Amino acid sequence: MKFQFLLSVIAVVAQTSTALAAAGGPPTLKYFDARGAAETARIILTFAGEEYNDSRYEIEPGTMSAPEFLKAKETGELDMNLNRVPLLITEGGEIIGESKAIE
């Protein structure tokens, strides 16, 4: 049972990586539109002069709800990182989750 789950996770990551690698372009950093776990990565990328896409999930004021984030989870866009952010997608299509690994 656990082995089948692992194989399905590997398949999702492989498919996502292949699709992203074909797209090319600068790396994309995904996180909420707030300071937090991705802020240090944003600062490092900026100081290094790296061009990157800063993809932010907007948080609705007063509700702490992020509809775009929920949609990304539902559509499987974040499956490769167990539906969590921050997430960095490199130019080569590699997917890096966890803020310390990104830094």
Assess whether pLDDT exceeds 60 at residue 61: yes
As a whole-number percent, the residues of the chain with pLDDT over 90 amount to: 56
Per-residue pLDDT tens for 71-98?
999 999 999 899 999 999 999 889 999 8
Q: What was the pLDDT predicted at 57?
A: 96
Whole-angstrom distance, CA of residue 15 vs CA of residue 103 = 25
Q: How many CA atoms within 13 Å lie on the side-chain side of 53?
A: 13
Whole-angstrom distance, CA of residue 89 vs CA of residue 25 = 10
The pTM assigned to this predicted structure is: 0.73
Whole-angstrom distance, CA of residue 1 vs CA of residue 68 = 32
Whole-angstrom distance, CA of residue 8 vs CA of residue 44 = 34
Per-residue pLDDT tens for 38-60?
999 999 999 999 999 999 999 99
